[in-house]
Structure 1
Amino acid sequence: MTTNLEGSVAVSLEATPTVDALPRRFADFATLGDAMDYAAQGSRGLNFHDARGTLKRPYPFREMREDALQQAYRLIAKGVRPNDRIALIAETGAEFAALFFGVVYAGAWPVPLPLPTSFGGREAYVEQLRVQLASCDPKTLFYPAELEAMAGEAARIAGVEGIDWESFSTAEAVAVELPKASSDDICYLQYSSGSTRFPHGTEITHAALLNNLSAHSHGMQLVDQDRCISWLPWYHDMGLVGCFLSVVANQVSTDYLKTEDFARRPLAWLDLITRNTGNSISYSPTFGYDICARRMSSQTKAADRFDLSRWRLAGNGADMIRPDVMQSFVDAFADAGFKASAFLPSYGLAEATLAVAIMPPGEGIIVELVEETELSGGTGRADRPQRYRAIVNCGKPVKDMTVEIREEDGTPLPERAIGKVWCKGPSLMSGYFRDPEATAACMVDGWLDTGDMGYLSDGYVYIVGRAKDMIIVNGKNHWPQDIEWAVEQLPGFKAGDIAAFAITTPGGEETPAVLVQCRASDEGERLRLREEIRERVRSVTGMNCVIELVPPRTLPRTSSGKLSRAKARKLYLEGEIKPYAIAA
Structure 2
Amino acid sequence: MQHPTPTNHSLPLKTSGFRSLAEALDYAAGGETGCNFYNGRGELTEALTYAELREQALELASRLHALGLERGARVALVADTHPHFHVFFFACQYAGLVPVPLPAAVHLGGREAFVAHLRAMLVDSQARVAFAPDSFAAFLAEASEGLELEVSGTLADFADLPRAERLPEPPAPEELAYLQYTSGSTRFPRGTMITQRAVLANLAGILQFGVQIRRGDRFTSWLPYYHDMGLVGLILGPLVSQLSVDYLGTRDFAMRPRVWLKLMSANRSTISFSPPFGYALCARRVRASDLDRFDLSSWRVAGVGAEMIRASWLKRFADALAPAGFSPAAFLPCYGMAECSLAVSFAPLGQGIDVDLLDADVLAQDRHARPASADLDDTRITEFVNCGRPLPDYEVEIRAADGSLVAERECGVIYLRGPSVMSGYANNEEASREALSHDGWLNTGDVGYRAGDSLFITGRAKDLLIINGRNIWPQDLEEVAEQQPEVRAEDASAFSIPGEDGTEVAVLVVQCRERDAFRQADLVERLKQRIQSEFGIACLIELVPLHTLPRTSSGKLSRSGARLDFLRRNGLESRPVLSQELVDRTPHTDAVETSRG
Q: Give the structure 1 partner of residue 345 of structure 2.
A: 357
Q: How far has the Cα of 1:148 moved from its partner?
A: 2.6
1:434 corresponds, among 424, 427, 436, to: 427
Asked whether the 8 Å contact 1:415–1:456 carries over to 2, the reply is yes
Aligned ranges 1:199-238 → 2 under 5 Å: 199-218=189-208, 219-238=210-229
Gap change, CA 1:399 and 1:118, over 3 Å in 2: farther
In 2, distance between residues paired with 1:199 and 1:404? 25
Aligned ranges 1:424-463 → 2 under 5 Å: 424-444=417-437, 445-463=439-457
1:281 corresponds, among 258, 271, 278, to: 271
**Letter of the aligned partner of 1:203 in structure 2?**
M
Deviations 1:501-559, CA, capped at 9 Å, x for gaps: 7752412645334666799xxxxxxxxxx999999976897979584769999979xxx
- Corresponding residue SS for 1:300: helix
Gap change, CA 1:577 and 1:275, over 3 Å in 2: farther
In 2, distance between residues paired with 1:196 and 1:168? 36
Q: How far has the Cα of 1:363 moved from its partner?
A: 0.5
Q: How far has the Cα of 1:60 moved from its partner?
A: 0.5
Aligned ranges 1:6-85 → 2 under 5 Å: 12-85=1-74
In 2, distance between residues paired with 1:79 and 1:552? 47
Asked whether the 8 Å contact 2:181–2:189 carries over to 1, the reply is yes
- Corresponding residue SS for 1:184: coil
Q: Give the structure 2 partner of residue 523 of structure 1.
A: none
Matched, 1:87 2:68: no
Aligned ranges 1:237-248 → 2 under 5 Å: 237-248=228-239
Asked whether the 8 Å contact 2:22–2:170 carries over to 1, the reply is no
Q: Give the structure 2 partner of residue 562 of structure 1.
A: none
Q: How far has the Cα of 1:399 moved from its partner?
A: 2.4
**Letter of the aligned partner of 1:235 in structure 2?**
Y
Length-normalised TM-score, structure 2: 0.79
Deviations 1:450-485, CA, capped at 9 Å, x for gaps: 1100011121110001264499xxxxxxxxxxxxxx
Q: Give the structure 1 partner of residue 181 of structure 2.
A: 191
Aligned ranges 1:273-312 → 2 under 5 Å: 273-277=264-268, 279-297=269-287, 299-300=288-289, 302=291, 304-312=292-300
In 2, distance between residues paired with 1:141 and 1:397? 37
1:152 corresponds, among 123, 137, 141, to: 141
Q: How far has the Cα of 1:220 moved from its partner?
A: 1.0
In 2, distance between residues paired with 1:535 and 1:335? 32
Q: How far has the Cα of 1:276 moved from its partner?
A: 2.2
Q: Give the structure 2 partner of residue 582 of structure 1.
A: 586
Deviations 1:218-237, CA, capped at 9 Å, x for gaps: 12111001100000000000
In 2, distance between residues paired with 1:41 and 1:199? 37
Gap change, CA 1:24 and 1:329, over 3 Å in 2: same
Asked whether the 8 Å contact 1:394–1:462 carries over to 2, the reply is yes
Matched, 1:333 2:321: yes
| Alpha-carbon RMSD | 3.3
Q: Give the structure 1 partner of residue 330 of structure 2.
A: 342
Q: Give the structure 2 partner of residue 522 of structure 1.
A: none
Gap change, CA 1:534 and 1:200, over 3 Å in 2: farther
Deviations 1:152-184, CA, capped at 9 Å, x for gaps: 111115444522223313545454132232101
Length-normalised TM-score, structure 1: 0.81
Out of 173-182 and 416-425, give the one that drifted further.
173-182
In 2, distance between residues paired with 1:253 and 1:470? 41
- Corresponding residue SS for 2:99: strand
Q: Percent identity?
A: 40
Out of 533-542 and 64-73, give the one that drifted further.
533-542
In 2, distance between residues paired with 1:120 and 1:341? 39
In 2, distance between residues paired with 1:379 and 1:321? 19
**Letter of the aligned partner of 1:346 in structure 2?**
C
In 2, distance between residues paired with 1:314 and 1:129? 32
Gap change, CA 1:551 and 1:91, over 3 Å in 2: closer
Q: How far has the Cα of 1:437 moved from its partner?
A: 1.2
**Letter of the aligned partner of 2:452 in structure 1?**
D
Q: Give the structure 2 partner of residue 314 of structure 1.
A: 302
Gap change, CA 1:539 and 1:235, over 3 Å in 2: closer
**Letter of the aligned partner of 2:192 in structure 1?**
T
Q: Give the structure 1 partner of residue 253 of structure 2.
A: 262
**Letter of the aligned partner of 1:39 in structure 2?**
A
In 1, distance between residues paired with 2:23 and 2:296? 35
Out of 186-195 and 462-471, give the one that drifted further.
462-471
Q: Give the structure 2 partner of residue 388 of structure 1.
A: 381
Gap change, CA 1:172 and 1:414, over 3 Å in 2: same
Stretches of structure 1 that go unaligned for 5 or more consecutive residues are 1-11, 472-499, 520-529, 557-567
- Corresponding residue SS for 2:47: strand
**Letter of the aligned partner of 1:147 in structure 2?**
F
Q: Give the structure 1 partner of residue 460 of structure 2.
A: 466
Aligned ranges 1:445-524 → 2 under 5 Å: 445-466=439-460, 468-469=462-463, 503-506=477-480, 507=482, 509-510=489-490, 511-513=492-494
Deviations 1:109-149, CA, capped at 9 Å, x for gaps: 10000013345200110111111111101101111233232
Gap change, CA 1:374 and 1:71, over 3 Å in 2: farther
Gap change, CA 1:44 and 1:138, over 3 Å in 2: same
Matched, 1:420 2:409: no
**Letter of the aligned partner of 1:334 in structure 2?**
A
Out of 78-87 and 100-109, give the one that drifted further.
78-87
Deviations 1:253-283, CA, capped at 9 Å, x for gaps: 1000011111111100000111123x51000
Gap change, CA 1:254 and 1:79, over 3 Å in 2: same
Q: Give the structure 2 partner of residue 176 of structure 1.
A: 166
Q: How far has the Cα of 1:436 moved from its partner?
A: 1.4
Gap change, CA 1:93 and 1:145, over 3 Å in 2: closer
